[in-house]
Amino acid sequence: MPFVLSPRHVVVKTSPNHKYIFTLRTHPSVVPGSIAFSLPQRKWAGLSIGQEIDGKSDGSTVMAWL
C-alpha cells in the first residue's frame, strides 16, 4: 500500500500575509520530520527544496524540511 490513509492538515506560513493549507499523508519514501511537496505545490507556495518551514497542524507547531 503506497499511502497510509490518515490525512492531516498543515498550515504553512511563508510570510506574515501568506498562509497555505496542505493535506498530509505518510509515505515510506519520505523521512520522518520531512514534508514532500510536488513541483506545482512548491511553485504555488513559493517553497524551495531543502527549505526549513514552520507550520501548524491540529493545533501544534510543526517544524519540517522539504
Closest to 64 in 3D by CA, of 49, 54, 18: 54
Report whether 41 contacts 47 (CB < 8 A): yes
Name the band, by pLDDT with cuts 50, 70 and 90, for residue 62.
low
pLDDT exceeds 70 at position 61:
no
Spell out the domain ranges in the chain: 4-65
Over range 4-33, report the average pLDDT: 80
For residue 20, what is its C-alpha cell? 497555505
For residue 32, what is its C-alpha cell? 520522518
Indicate the CATH number for domain 4-65. Answer: 2.40.40.20
pTM over 0.85: no
